[in-house]
Chains A and B, each alone.
Chain A
Amino acid sequence: QSALTQPASVSGSPGQSITISCTGTSSDVGSYNLVSWYQQHPGKAPKLMIYEGSKRPSGVSNRFSGSKSGNTASLTISGLQAEDEADYYCCSYGGSSTFEVVFGGGTKLTVL
C-alpha cells in the first residue's frame, strides 16, 4: 500500500486552469477507474469533488473535472477562484485479493 504520488504544490491566477496529477501503479489507478478527489480547507473535513474517475457529486461546480491515462489520474480546475485555494487529495481503490484504499500525499493549491 504505497501512497499515490501528487505534486506538493501547484498555483494559478484567478480565471486560469490548473491540473493536479496523481500517479499510482497498475495495481490501483491503472487497473480501476475508481479514483476520487477531495478538497480540504484548513481545519475542515475533506469534501468529495470527483468520484469514479470523472463523476461529480451533486452541488460540485462543473469547473472541476477528472480524467485518467494509464497509471495517472488528473484533476483539472478551470476558471480558478480564490475559494479553490485548498489542499487536494486523490484516492484510489484497488487490490485484487483484498480491499485496499490509498490516498495521495496531497497537493496545496495556491490561487495567486
Chain B
Amino acid sequence: QVQLVESGGGVVQPGRSLRLSCAASGFIFSSYGMHWVRQAPGKGLEWVAVIWYDGSKKYYADSVKGRFTISRDNSKNTLYLQMNSLRAEDTAVYSCATYYGSGSPYGLDVWGQGTTVTVSS
C-alpha cells in the first residue's frame, strides 16, 4: 500500500545538524512533489518545505530558509531534510506528505507518522 516512513529524528544540541529521511513505497515516487510539515508539541501544523517531483524546484518557509535543505533521491524512493543551525524552536514532529490519491498538488492525502526532533542542550 501507499506508505511514507520517516526516520532520523533525535535529540540534538542547539547549533548542530540533523538529517531526516522519508522512505516512500506503493507509488511512483518520482512522479510526485513532496512536502515536509512539522508540528511542535501541543501546537498546530507548520509547513516547512516542498520539492518538485524531479527536484527542479524547492521552496521553504521563512522560518527555515537558509538553514534547512530539502532534497530527494528518486532512485532510492527517498526524501530528505537536512537541518543545520538547529534552534530550540525547531523542536517538533516532522512529517513528510504528498498528494498521490487526490491527484492535486494542493491536497496532501498521504502522510507519514512523523519523526521527533528535539533541540535541547
A residues whose Cβ falls under 8 Å from a Cβ of B = 1, 3, 34, 36, 38, 40, 45-48, 51-52, 55, 57-58, 87, 89, 91, 93, 98-106
Q: How many B residues have CB within 8 A of the partner chain?
A: 24
B109 to chain A, nearest CB (A): 4
User: Which residues of the partner chain A approach B59 to less than 8 Å between Cβ atoms?
Assistant: 98-100
**Are A101 and B35 in contact, CB atoms less than 8 angstroms apart?**
yes
**Chain B 40-55 interface 0/1 with A at a Cβ cutoff of 8 Å (1 = within):** 0000111100100000
Chain A: which residue is nearest B35 at the CB level?
A: A101
User: Which residues of the partner chain A approach B44 to less than 8 Å between Cβ atoms?
Assistant: 3, 87, 89, 103-106
Besides A55-B104, A57-B102, A103-B44, 19 more A-B contacts (Cβ < 8 Å) are A1-B61, A1-B62, A3-B44, A45-B95, A45-B111, A46-B97, A51-B102, A51-B104, A51-B109, A52-B106, A57-B107, A87-B44, A89-B44, A89-B45, A91-B45, A101-B47, A101-B50, A103-B47, A104-B44
Chain B: which residue is nearest A34 at the CB level?
A: B106
**Are A57 and B106 in contact, CB atoms less than 8 angstroms apart?**
no
- Chain B CB count within 10 A is highest, among A3, A89, A101, A105, for A101
- Chain A CB count within 10 A is highest, among B47, B109, B114, for B109
B residues whose Cβ falls under 8 Å from a Cβ of A = 35, 37, 44-47, 50, 57, 59, 61-62, 95, 97, 101-102, 104, 106-109, 111-114
User: Which residues of the partner chain B approach A55 to less than 8 Å between Cβ atoms?
Assistant: 102, 104, 107
**Pick the contact of B45 from A38, A52, A57 — CB < 8 Å?**
A38
